[in-house]
Amino acid sequence: GLLHFATDGETFGHHRKKGAEILKETLEKLINRGVKLTNFASFMEEVSWVPPAQIRENTSWSCAHGVERWRADCGCFAGGKPGWNQKWRAPFREAMNWLKERLDRIFQEEGASLFKDPWAALLDYVEVMVRGPESLLPFLDRHSTRNLSTGERVKAAKLLEMARMGQYIFTSCGWFFADISGLEAVQNMTFAARAIELARDISGIYLEDGYLERLYKAKSNVPAERNGLEIYKRRVLPRRFTTKDITAHYLITSTLSGRFRETRLFRHRFRPVKVDRLEKGATCFCCGMVEVTNLAFQEKGSYLFSVLQYCPGDIHCTLSSRGKERWEETLEALKSAYHLGITHLVRELDRFFGPQFYGSESTIDVV
């Protein structure tokens, strides 16, 4: 006969201490007693039996109210404190729905000229997620309407990534728990921020204001957190990193370690083309050029850079993608300024790179 057991897989992951060990021991005992492990698909294939089944729409295992846990203050939640409510769920869902509709429109309109079938390409995009960025170009060749230019390939890849983030914003646990300030809801907002960033890069359409207008209506139970808009500004935006930000991290950490090597970091590949390192007293100055490839999009570029270390932990890092046609001349001017003194060098850095710079606090925490 067939004996069926159903339980939450997370029970054997992080919900119960030593859950995985107990499961392993139980399965070994069952197998030793002649029990064969199977699942419904394998069993039905063996006995050539396909029973009729009907899906009961809008039901879930963790909400007695159907699927209200993911859109309403239904009374189902985990965690929290007495007196809390989940009225934030409805406007949070509204904000995500509003954003998703506009992301889908951009994906369809911008992708129509690039993909044979944009939505079929999105379904198959999981191949790239599983096999890695090296599979992106062959994937695009299969799904594109023609032989795409380098710029069109980058755009196609960004469209797919934008659409993927548009799916991630509905990750179930974002509504599951007691408050919008929980890490699960914040993670969904982080996906939304990435989708918004890519949408603007692809189409020039700015969706953030409309999204935040709706997030504002999602009130937190925690007075200090206030609402979704404040949570987004305080806890999501600081986690948004551009290729330039990540490059600055690479340059600063390479200077501090004393080693500039070709490496992969945060879905980017860095290759130092030229690095000059000068030291005088307690100061160190590195300048040169680095090539950067965003592996997610196979988008390539390069930066002229300088990193000045006044003393341990005190960093002034600048970089620019402009002026590369005269990069050797620029580097010589920077090195000459360093020999004349820090004041001369900083003035020269401001003249070429502008007043904005990255400090030691600009490095990215690797969690």
Tell me the pLDDT tens digit for each residue of 106-146.
999 999 999 999 999 999 999 999 999 999 999 999 999 99
Is the per-residue pLDDT at 67 higher than 90?
yes
Is 110:159 a contact under the CB 8 Å cutoff? yes
What are 150-192's pLDDT values in tens digits?
999 999 999 999 999 999 999 999 999 999 999 999 999 999 9
pLDDT range class, residue 17, cuts 50, 70, 90: confident
The average confidence (pLDDT) of the chain is 94
What is the residue type of 43? Answer: F
For residue 131, the number of C-alpha atoms closer than 13 Å in the C-beta half-sphere is: 11
What are 248-297's pLDDT values in tens digits?
999 999 999 999 999 999 999 999 999 999 999 889 999 999 999 999 99
Task: Please report, rounded to a whole number, the percentage of residues in the chain having pLDDT higher than 70.
Answer: 99
Is the per-residue pLDDT at 9 higher than 70?
yes
Which long-range contacts link 247-250 to residues 24+ away (Cβ below 8 Å)? 247/290, 247/292, 247/303, 247/305, 247/319, 248/317, 248/319, 248/358, 248/362, 249/362, 249/363, 249/364, 250/290
pLDDT range class, residue 366, cuts 50, 70, 90: low
Average pLDDT over residues 12-29: 86
DSSP 232: I
What are 74-97's pLDDT values in tens digits?
999 999 999 999 999 999 999 999
The predicted pLDDT at position 263 comes to 97
pLDDT range class, residue 367, cuts 50, 70, 90: very low
